[in-house]
A and B are shown apart, each in its own frame.
Chain A
Amino acid sequence: MTALLNVNGLTVKLPVMGELRTVLRDVDLELEAGKTLGLVGESGSGKSMTVRTIARLLPDGADVKGHVRFDGAEVFDLRGEALRRYRAGDVSMVFQDARAHTNPVRRMGDFLTEALCTNDRMPRRAAEAKAIQLLADVGISDPERRLRQYPHELSGGLLQRVMIAASVAVRPRLILADEPTTALDVTTQAEVMSILARMQAEYGMAVLFITHDLELAGAVCDDTIVLYAGQVVERQRSTQLHRDPLHPYTAALVQARPEIGHRARRLPAIPGHPTTAYEAPGGCAFAPRCRFAQDACRRAVPSLLQIGEQGSTRCIRMPDLHGRLLATTGAGDEASDHQRADAAEEATR
């Protein structure tokens, strides 16, 4: 069984002020046709860089090692016309900031039809008819009028729907969705997600979905990968992610969410600040912020560990921590001083 998208040992370094800085370290992922894979992580964890690498949108001078295979073909071997065809027909991308990703001086109609006209050699009239159909599909009323409007005349939610319409126009086999709903308000977010899900089901596309919203990932993705400091730290079924995280980082993220029904006095935040791949310490990148960290964690970069059928993790303590990560107290909770301080504070009131 070969996956549609296969990323193997991907390490990416970008030139920043004359030096190469690591942004991705040994990333593996695979995505089967028609499935949805979530990519979760905080800012700077390498989520966007991963999809930009897959779309070959890296800045000049980037140093790439490892493999990105699409349908068995090495993406980094594509040149010229083959690369253009890959982008035109096989993958498409939905961006976070739809406004920045549309040309302010061109109408929506041009935006939607030009890929069809230039790539599929579709006559202008037919392309326009298809664009109207696409806009109707993504729930935009009065599509004929929208075609003649400029980006600044559309709201953010509308513009994002147009982006989705444009990205499915050529029926790609893979959609790279880079936080498509982050810039939208919650109700619009739900609508856009349902449109994306419907389009996916209708056309049988695979979606690589980036988000920093664990709930959203759990709701729409089959599998979820958690990235930290440019590394995959966990991969498992999205539905299990909340209940039984396989990495202390994921567990901390899960605990840091507010929950409806629980009146939290204070959300348990993760101490310290996010680390980028290039400033990550030796050993486990998360160790400095991890309440389960031991000396062994800091010695060597852990490799991905298979946890039964459930998934994999990059935590060497997982075999004995498994199932206990979400418990607030317990053996191995060496670094919960801040929590005890909280409790003491409460007691004095």
Chain B
Amino acid sequence: MTAVADNVEVEARIIARTARRLRHAGSLGVSGWIALGAFAAVVLIAAIGPLLVTTDPNAVSLSEAFQGPSAVHPLGTDASGRDLLARLVFGGRTALIGPFLVVLCSTILGTALALTAVWFGGWFDQMVVRVIDAIFAFPGLLLAILATALFGAGLPAAIAALSIAYLPYIARIVRSAALRERNLPYVAALRVQGVHGAWISLRHILPNIAGLIVANATLAFGFALMDLAGLSFIGLGVQPPTADWGAMVGTGMGGILQGHPAEALYASALIVITVAAVNVIGDRLNERSEVRA
């Protein structure tokens, strides 16, 4: 009798806890909302800014070099007399699309690899873990430099290299979460119904760890943005004259020495704001997924 009473009580507690978690899941917290707002603003600028700014970001006018803000150039010009506002707005697209592609590739491939490894287990799982560890040993930047050395400098090579470099990071997290999920009783219940392993992995395990994956993809976006900006800064990523924040910090270096820090300052400020916002969002999402797990 007491066992039954206990079970009812436990059940009531589980239901209450689930409800609490669902309510909690809706909140990002004040800092989270501010960060989300900042990130949305940056994305919006990059998305619709180029439609509003009619100035050509690549129009060189050496006579107008290093101008301060004016009606024609609201944020002034760079060393080649190019409009800074236009370059920042157009550069935002390159700066955001790059890390987005890196995160997309590494998350999809890493998740697929992790789920397969967890489902089959055994030697296959062990092999995947070793490969992941091996890739981990290479810093992302080093891999990217290697890739540009092989395939030539440029965004595609940098994105491909960083995707591979970020893959183990995602794969490791997904693997441990999926492993925990796979050992839960409901997976046994599905297996004994004869449901396909692939189906269980994609339709049951994946949705249950989706929050964690999104959180870590968000964090990875921040890191990828930094890494790609760094590559462009040293001239291995985005190639001139294409506008890009990281490249602008690089070309702006000369300006700083000549007393015109605007280009490097604006570009790095945007990078810092974006990365900080993305990291705060990622942290909040991570906390949420931990609360749920």
Contacts and interface: CB of A to CB of B under 8 A. Distances in A.
A95 B189 contact: yes
Contact of B7 (A60, A85, A176, A183): A183
A54 to B, nearest CB: 10
Contacts of B190: 103
Nearest to A61: B122
A110 B207 CA distance: 13
B189 A101 contact: yes
Contact of A89 (B11, B19, B194): B194
Contacts of B191: 57, 87
Given A101-B186, A102-B186, A57 B192 contact: yes
B47 interface: no
B291 interface: no
Interface in A97-154: 97, 99-106, 110, 114-115, 118-119, 152
Contacts of B34: none
B11 A118 contact: no
B189 A93 contact: yes
Interface in B152-200: 184-186, 188-196, 199
A91 interface: yes
B55 interface: no
A66 interface: no
Interface string B74-105: 00000000000000000000000000000000
A101 B185 contact: yes
Interface string A233-272: 0000000000000000000000000000000000000000
B18 interface: yes
B119 to A, nearest CB: 12
B4 A87 contact: no
Given A60-B122, A105-B207, A156 B7 contact: yes
Contacts of B15: 152
A92 interface: yes
Which of B3, B122, B193, B199: most chain A CB closer than 10 A? B193
A102 B192 CA distance: 12
B185 A97 contact: yes
A94 to B, nearest CB: 9
Given A95-B185, A101-B186, A185-B8, A118 B195 contact: yes
A106 B189 CA distance: 14
Contacts of B194: 84-89, 115, 119, 170
A103 B193 contact: no
Contacts of B8: 156, 185
Interface in B236-253: none
B4 A184 contact: yes
Given A104-B18, A105-B207, A156-B11, A87 B193 contact: yes
Interface of A: 55, 57, 60, 84-89, 91-93, 95, 97, 99-106, 110, 114-115, 118-119, 152, 155-156, 163, 166-167, 170, 176, 182-186
11 contacts: A84-B194, A84-B196, A85-B194, A87-B193, A91-B192, A103-B204, A106-B203, A106-B207, A110-B203, A156-B11, A183-B4
Interface of B: 3-4, 7-8, 11, 14-15, 18-19, 121-122, 184-186, 188-196, 199, 203-204, 207-208
